[in-house]
């Protein structure tokens, strides 16, 4: 019999080469998200967000699952037994860290190593990039036990999938594998499980070479402009660039200097040498 995990043990984290590897850590429950896990995840995100030794955050799962979604007993039955107050508290705790992750200071990558069901679509969408194992399984299983895909899952399906695929995915409750998830647009890429970590590491190391202020401005811009008209997006992006220049005036200048004056790199082929920037 597996000993009960403490709240702190529901999330595991290691930092290697400026990459924080954050893991859902309830493998005995296929990493289902419980109120305790949701609270601990917020603490972990708080602790990592402004650390100098962390430049990229990778969210993955311990064992054979990424996350099987919400723990049906702890998240639903036990909180609902406490009435509306219990339900609302559980919702605040889960939606809160997903919202925090959507607008996180550092680039974020979802590494989907196994099951990704239901409520798992919240943190999946919250991450900037997503890579999956071919063997992973994705599903909106809510319809199979009598509720709609809530907690943002319906919004995620509508955002990332075509209308017909979103309808089929949500209404049938059938699973798809990592290859199909990549084809449908739920993730960027899919590959055999034994290559997944190496590919995610490669992407993380590429991100570490980019200007961090520009990365934050870029990821925010892409999320914001999705809901804007073209004219509103154009205006927003002008102001966003001005704000980024004000916050990090040396970055843009150094990039221009290395390209125009030194001719040491080509923007279309790679990034400027961040280590030579005065404010880096």
* pLDDT per position as a tens digit, 64-86: 999 999 888 887 788 888 898 88
Banded model confidence at residue 279, pLDDT cuts 50, 70, 90: low
For the cut 90, the answer to whether the pLDDT of residue 138 exceeds it is yes
Ramachandran angles phi, psi of 214, nearest 5°? -65, -35
Q: Is 30 helix (H, G, I), strand (E, B) or coil?
A: coil
CA-based max dimension of the chain:
67
pLDDT classification of 3: cutoffs 50, 70, 90? low
Which residue would you say has higher pLDDT here, 218 or 267? Answer: 218
pLDDT for 32 equals 95
Q: Which helix (H) or strand (E) holds 168?
A: helix 163-172
- Mean pLDDT calculated for residue range 195-205: 98
Q: What pLDDT score was predicted for residue 251?
A: 78
pLDDT tens digits, one per residue of 8-29: 999 999 999 999 999 999 999 9
What pLDDT sits at residue 245?
Answer: 85
Q: pLDDT digit string (tens) for 160-194?
A: 999 999 999 999 999 999 999 999 999 999 999 99
Phi, psi of 130 (to 5 degrees): -145, 135
Residue 67 forms beta bridges with which residues? 116
Provide mean pLDDT across the span 193-221.
97
How many whole angstroms separate alpha carbon 57 and alpha carbon 176?
26
Say yes or no to pLDDT of 274 above 90: no
Query: Over 50: is that where the pLDDT of 280 sits?
Result: no
> Do residues 9 and 25 make contact, with C-beta atoms less than 8 angstroms apart?
yes
Q: Measured between alpha carbons, how far is residue 168 from residues 136, 162, 192, 202 in Å?
A: 19, 10, 26, 34
Give the pTM.
Answer: 0.93
- d(CA 213, CA 207) in angstroms, rounded, equals 12
Beta bridge partners of 109: 58, 129
Local confidence band at 41 (pLDDT 50, 70, 90 cut-offs) = very high
Mean pLDDT score of the chain: 92
Average pLDDT, stretch 84-94?
A: 86
Length of the chain equals: 280
Question: Is it the case that residue 205 has pLDDT exceeding 60?
Answer: yes
DSSP string for 48-65:
HTT-TT-SEEEEEESTTE
Whole-number pLDDT of residue 246: 84
What is the tens place of the pLDDT at every residue in 116-126? 999 999 999 99
Are β-strands 108-112 and 65-67 bridged in parallel, bridged antiparallel, or unpaired?
unpaired
**What is the reported pLDDT for 50?**
97
Q: Specify the pLDDT at position 2.
A: 54
Q: Answer whether 121's CB lies under 8 Å from 112's CB.
A: no
């Amino acid at each position: 019999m597996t000993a009960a995990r403490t709240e702190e043990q529901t999330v595991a984290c290691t930092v290697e080469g400026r990459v924080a590897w954050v893991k859902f850590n309830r493998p005995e429950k296929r990493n289902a998200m419980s109120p305790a896990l949701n609270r601990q995840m917020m603490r972990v995100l708080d602790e990592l967000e402004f650390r100098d030794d962390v430049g990229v955050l990778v969210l993955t799962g311990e064992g054979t699952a990424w996350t099987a979604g919400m723990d049906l007993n702890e998240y639903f039955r036990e909180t609902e037994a406490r009435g509306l107050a219990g339900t609302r508290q559980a919702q605040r705790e889960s939606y809160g860290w997903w919202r925090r992750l959507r607008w996180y200071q550092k680039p974020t990558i979802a590494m989907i190593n196994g099951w990704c069901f239901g409520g798992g679509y919240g943190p999946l969408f919250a991450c900037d990039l997503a890579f999956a194992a071919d063997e992973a399984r994705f599903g909106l299983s809510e319809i199979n036990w009598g509720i709609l895909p809530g907690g943002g899952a319906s919004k995620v399906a509508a955002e990332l999938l075509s209308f017909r695929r979103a309808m089929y995915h949500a209404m049938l409750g059938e699973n798809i594998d990592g290859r199909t998830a990549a084809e449908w647009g739920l993730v960027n890429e899919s590959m055999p499980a034994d290559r997944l970590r190496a590919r995610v590491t490669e992407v993380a190391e590429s991100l570490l070479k980019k200007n961090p202020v520009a990365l934050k401005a870029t990821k925010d811009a892409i999320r914001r402009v999705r809901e804007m008209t073209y004219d509103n997006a154009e205006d927003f992006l002008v102001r966003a660039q001005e704000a980024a220049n004000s916050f990090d005036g040396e970055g843009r200048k150094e990039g221009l200097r290395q390209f125009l004056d030194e001719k040491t790199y080509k923007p279309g082929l790679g990034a400027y040498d961040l280590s030579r920037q005065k404010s880096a």
